[in-house]
Amino acid sequence: MSRARVIVALSMFLSVVAAGTCFADDNSAFLQVIVTRQEHDPFLPWQKGQPIERYGYGAVVGPGLVLTTERLVRNHNLVELRAARSGERIPAVVKISDDQVNLALIKVTADHGLPPFKAMEIAGAVSEESELEILQLDSTRQVQRGDAQLLRVAMKSLPSASYASLTFDLLTDLNVTGEGAPAILNGKLAGLVMSYTRERRVGNMIPFCVIRQFLDDASTSPYRGFASAGFLWKQLIDPARREWLGVGDQDGGILVLSAVSESGAADVLEPNDVILEWDDRKIDSLGFYDDKEFGRLSLPYLIKGRRRPGEAVPVKIIRKGKQVSVQVKLTRADEKTHLIPDNTVGRKAEYVVEGGMIIREVTGRYLRSHGSDWQRIIDSSLVHTYHTKKLFPDSPGQRVVLLSAVLPHPVNSGYQQFRNRVITHLNGKPVSNMDDVFRIQTDDGNINRFTLKSMGIDLVLDKSLLNEANKNLSYLYRIPQLRWKRPPESQKQQ
């Protein structure tokens, strides 16, 4: 064999060894996650938008199991996995997803298998001195690495969700191209990257402790999720108010504003209670405590990160100037009890279209769908209700029912300008949620009178024209169903 051929063969061998070592060094596996997703149209809820393909990453955490972010697989029609240096797409299904911590567990379908990768172990601890490595794939689907350093640990709002969770901010030299990219510490999974800002070169990561808690819970049925106490609070730094409440200067403590109905706090805590200690940890006047693992953290991590739903925690409070000890039972936050659910996951909205009048309930997702300037566009009273009362219905099951828009048709001539107006009565009967709307329509045969909040007159449709108009509207606007009510058995899957 000539010298040139030997050099070429040796180069090819070294290239293969180097490529193989990419995974060998990791002692673990990660995959590209390909999601085809469709979201329900927030304004025409009988429609779906165009399918969109999104790319991210996931970490193999068990036989046929891959961990990724909930936001990546949200509203999915199809989920597929692809290994590095491979074109094969492996079909998978979402086993569990939790928007309260932005995590999802994907399972490979039975007739396919993952490449024989060793599952990633979960790291035990991460500190500022830890040398992290972020993994992703480049444009040729080769493994790409970047160093990362821990900048900050804090409870922060999750991207595209109404919940806060423990997050790590990372400084990295890698331009992260997809969420779910694993951060590795000594060959173990330290976290999954949720977002990345190229200008600042800072990524935001779901940490190992949240991942471990999620996987532990997902390993048993039913999945319980993460804990919530169910109360609103604010910092207590005003000396005059502290004195009026009977709180000493050195006591710390935060002020309870209100409790969410059907939560553990609703049975125990009252407005103007001052929480001095939670679960045997002192809470300062800003709402922070000293965490044994992460240092100074805000109170919500004591609830969400250190306990589980169903557990009761000791709480020391000052009520009417006297120190009292109580037990607060933790639950899982559930939007079905809220006056205005956020519905960040994009469940299909229940609706009725009567004479072109679109009736639906208000959600946070619907309000935000009007764009970044939605708070100026939407009626100010509705914005105020969302910001101040969205968690607090006056009675169980109450929602805000809306005339969201009017589809132009001769039957509703003169009403086309009405949109995003709160409905108080239909056919003269009070309305507090979509169940009332369905019941009134069923009992009366149709809806022809709309009473809107803060209006002195009703909107009235010609009852004799409604049946024909509805048929025409269904054809013109391609509405397959003029009313849609969520089946009970699929309440959480839609």
CA-CA distance, 242 to 254, in Å (whole number)?
Answer: 10
For residue 248, the model assigns a pLDDT of 87
For residue 95, the model assigns a pLDDT of 96
Residues with Cβ within 8 Å of 292's Cβ and at least 6 positions away in sequence, in order, are: none
Q: Which of 87, 89, 63 is nearest to 78 (CA)?
A: 89
Domains and CATH numbers, the chain: 25-226 (2.40.10.120), 231-329 (2.30.42.10), 336-490 (3.20.190.20)
3-state secondary structure of 433: coil
For residue 29, the model assigns a pLDDT of 86
For residue 117, the model assigns a pLDDT of 78
Specify whether the CB–CB gap between 347 and 341 falls below 8 A. Answer: no
For residue 109, the model assigns a pLDDT of 86
Largest CA distance in the chain: 97
For residue 2, the model assigns a pLDDT of 46
Give pLDDT tens digits along the chain (494 positions): 444 443 333 333 333 333 333 333 444 589 999 999 999 999 999 999 899 999 999 999 998 899 999 999 999 999 999 998 888 899 999 999 999 999 999 999 877 776 777 889 999 999 888 899 999 999 888 999 999 999 999 999 998 888 999 999 999 989 999 999 999 999 999 999 999 998 899 999 999 999 999 999 999 999 999 999 999 999 999 999 999 999 988 889 999 999 998 899 999 999 999 999 999 999 999 999 999 999 999 999 999 999 999 999 999 999 999 999 999 999 999 998 999 999 999 899 999 999 999 999 999 999 999 999 999 999 999 999 999 999 999 999 999 999 999 999 999 999 999 999 999 999 999 999 999 999 999 999 999 999 999 888 899 999 999 999 999 999 999 999 999 999 985 444 43
This prediction has a pTM of: 0.88
For residue 489, the model assigns a pLDDT of 57
End-to-end Cα spacing for the chain: 66
Strand partners, 359: 352, 403
For residue 28, the model assigns a pLDDT of 53
Residue type, 394: D
Strand partners, 68: 104
CA-CA distance, 412 to 118, in Å (whole number)?
Answer: 63
Structure tokens at 439: 């019941």
Structure tokens at 151: 């900048």
What burial letters (b/e) apply to 314-336, b meaning 16+ CB within 10 Å? ebbbbbeeeeeebebbbbbbebe
